[in-house]
């Protein structure tokens, strides 16, 4: 990478000299921006979601051609099929590690790649987040119990393209609280989808999500956000699930692919990342959290869901 000199034009495209623009605050586009505690944006990505820890880079999100859109459709279709197969296997007494083994083996046998496996050192092929775990739960020997809720987050690489989605499952008979937060997360996902079309601002997604969640007495996690996706796992645009002011300047154009993946908490919105494994994010108060996610393509006609399962819940579903 060629180093930008202080008197060179800033690579962000502002027209200013680098020293007057990103040189005085954050690195130019293409370099990691410093995050809280001295960590870079890249190191703060507790993937598969993107942490909101610094100002967004001023880059234009990738615009996919017709052929590239078909590549994303194929990746989304496979990933959705895989989640339907997980649906058949999940239930009380099932070990999280056994589900993960199935995800890895089925994906590799199909000639594809489980994107999470080895991503920035992540040790498994899926994320399984139980009860108070907000996201990035590492599959282990835990056996699912009646009353649990568990979010299964899958990302597959098919011919270089990423399909990414998650769904929260109710295990056996669950409490009204568990059903309520799961229902809210599901409804928030589709509210965010329905709020946008070609030319919409990203902030409209967060506005729609927060309106529903707060109306029902839940909180919206702000530490993690949705993201652009394609040949690369995480790209622009960043997609906050609350009305982050800077998202008002981000426009959704036809050809953009991105995820919406709201995380809804029963209690406080805050999360803590496990210091032992560096991945597992839990609610600060130990209360339940639920999440749903789709990979989406903005077309000239509107939003296309690329990861719609055949047997999973559709808009209007009641848990």
What pLDDT score was predicted for residue 12? 41
What pLDDT score was predicted for residue 2? 39
**Cβ–Cβ < 8 Å for 241, 296:** no
Of 305, 286, 287, nearest in space to 295 by CA: 305
Residue 103: partners with Cβ closer than 8 Å, 6 or more residues away: 82, 86, 114, 125, 126, 154
CATH code reported for the domain at 67-305: 3.90.230.10
What pLDDT score was predicted for residue 5? 52
What pLDDT score was predicted for residue 102? 98
Crossing angle (nearest 10°) for helices 66-89 and 96-109: 140
Domain residue limits, the chain:
67-305
Rounded-to-integer distance, Cα 154 and Cα 150, Å: 13
Buried residues in 252-283 as b, exposed as e (16+ CB within 10 A): bebbbbbbbbbbbbbbebbbebeeeeebbbbb
The torsion angle over the Cα atoms of residues 240, 243, 246 and 248, rounded to 10 degrees, is 110
pLDDT in tens, the chain (319 residues): 334 455 655 444 445 554 454 444 333 222 222 222 332 222 233 334 444 333 434 457 899 999 999 999 999 999 999 999 999 999 999 999 999 999 999 999 999 999 999 999 999 999 999 999 999 999 999 999 999 999 999 999 999 999 999 999 999 999 999 999 999 999 999 999 999 999 999 999 999 999 999 999 999 999 999 999 999 999 999 999 999 999 999 999 999 999 999 999 999 999 999 999 999 999 999 999 999 999 999 999 999 999 999 999 999 999 9
Beta strand 235-239 with 224-228 is antiparallel
Using a cut of 0.75, tell me whether the model's pTM lies above it. Answer: yes
Tell me the Ramachandran region of residue 22: left when phi exceeds 0, alpha when psi lies from -120 to 50, beta otherwise: alpha
Of 185, 117, 120, 111, nearest in space to 149 by CA: 185
What pLDDT score was predicted for residue 61? 87
| CA 278 to chain CA centroid, nearest Å | 17
Residue 168: partners with Cβ closer than 8 Å, 6 or more residues away: 149, 150, 151, 182, 185, 186, 290, 291, 292
């Amino acid at each position: 990478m060629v180093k930008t000199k202080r008197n060179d034009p800033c690579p962000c495209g502002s027209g200013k000299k680098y020293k007057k623009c990103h040189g005085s605050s954050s690195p130019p586009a293409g370099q990691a921006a410093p995050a809280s505690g001295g960590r870079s944006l890249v190191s703060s990505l507790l993937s598969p979601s993107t942490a909101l820890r610094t100002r967004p880079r001023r880059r234009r999100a990738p615009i996919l051609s017709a052929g590239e859109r078909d590549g994303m459709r194929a990746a989304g279709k496979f990933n959705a099929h895989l989640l339907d197969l997980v649906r058949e296997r999940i239930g009380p007494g099932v070990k999280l590690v056994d589900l993960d083994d199935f995800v890895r083996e089925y994906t590799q046998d199909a000639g594809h790649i489980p994107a999470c496996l080895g991503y920035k050192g992540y040790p498994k092929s899926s994320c399984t987040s139980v009860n108070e775990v907000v996201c990035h739960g590492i599959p282990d020997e835990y056996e699912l119990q009646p009353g649990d809720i568990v979010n299964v987050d899958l990302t597959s690489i098919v011919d270089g393209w990423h399909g990414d989605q998650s769904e929260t499952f109710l295990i056996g008979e669950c409490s009204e609280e568990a059903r309520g937060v799961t229902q809210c997360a599901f409804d928030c996902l589709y509210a965010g989808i329905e709020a946008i079309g070609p030319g919409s601002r990203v902030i409209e997604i967060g506005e729609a999500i927060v309106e529903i969640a707060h109306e029902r007495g839940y909180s919206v996690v702000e530490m993690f956000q949705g993201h652009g996706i394609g040949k690369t796992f995480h790209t622009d645009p960043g997609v906050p699930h609350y009305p982050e002011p800077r998202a008002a300047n981000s426009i959704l154009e036809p050809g953009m692919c991105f995820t919406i993946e709201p995380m809804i908490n029963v209690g406080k919105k805050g999360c803590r990342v496990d210091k032992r494994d560096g991945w597992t994010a839990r609610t600060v108060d130990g209360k339940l959290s639920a999440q749903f996610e789709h990979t989406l393509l903005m077309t000239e006609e509107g939003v296309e869901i690329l990861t719609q399962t055949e047997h999973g819940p559709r808009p209007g579903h009641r848990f």
